[in-house]
Amino acid sequence: MRRLLLVRHGNTFEDGVVPTRVGSRSDLALTQKGVAQALTFAAAVRTAGLCVGPFLAGPLQRTRDFLARGFDATPTLDARLREIDYGDWEGLTDAEIAARVGAAMLEDWNRRCVWPHGQNWAPDEAALAAGAALLVLELAHGSPRCLPILCSSQGVLRYFAKLDATFFVQAQRDSKLGVATGACCGVRLAPSGALTVDFWNDKPDAARLAAWAHA
């Protein structure tokens, strides 16, 4: 089975700044810490001795720059990795969103990936799921020697996790579907396009990456 690394882009808000909901409408740059996270991830991959490529990223600068800074490479931009347009939530803090729609809807999305209908998000959930499934199927047939690396937002990455129903249901139950900035996830792909999650939301660690890649 071919292995695949998923990674969330680095920080886009400076320390001390209250984060807001940022999706495809807001093309924010990586902060200094975000660049450092990119370098840390790439260093772990190199130290692990992994053969990596191709590099794929969403079209926004925070995802493409995360891979470009870390690997001194120009990633292929793929619209299926473009971040979600958060519609009515764009630019709001979590506190402001909860005041508008209730804490339950916000928590359902943040912790359990339950789509908040009626909030003018785009694309719809079916399109996100279909895009992830098609991309996985395309990558499943490449060389098993090298690991593709995909960089996107945690909202999009969750739809790759959803392709492993057993993992997704348990992670949803445990509220462990989030992916921190700069964190990575390892999955395996069968030729059929079936996906198995091996680890999720891990800090980059060379020893663990090497053990996983050669298991």
Cβ atoms of 81 and 58 closer than 8 Å: yes
**Which pLDDT value is given to residue 145?**
84
Can you read off the two tokens belonging to residue 9? 């882009």
CATH code (residue 102): 3.40.50.1240
**Which pLDDT value is given to residue 157?**
98
Provide the domain count of the chain: 1
**Which pLDDT value is given to residue 142?**
82
The letter for the amino acid at 127 is A
Long-range CB contact pairs, 200-206, < 8 A, 24+ = 200/161, 200/167, 200/171, 200/176, 201/176, 204/40, 204/41, 204/43, 204/44, 204/45, 205/44, 206/43, 206/44, 206/45, 206/47, 206/48
Cβ atoms of 38 and 108 closer than 8 Å: no
> The domain containing residue 9 runs over which residues?
2-213
* SS percent in the chain: helix, strand, coil, step 5: 40, 15, 40
- Peptide bond preceding 54: is omega within 30 degrees of 0, i.e. cis? yes
Task: Tell me the mean pLDDT per 10 residues along the chain, length 215.
Answer: 95 93 95 97 97 96 96 94 97 97 96 96 97 96 89 97 97 95 97 95 98 92
**Which pLDDT value is given to residue 1?**
82
**Which pLDDT value is given to residue 121?**
98
**Which pLDDT value is given to residue 77?**
98
Can you read off the two tokens belonging to residue 14? 């400076």
pTM beyond 0.85: the answer is: yes
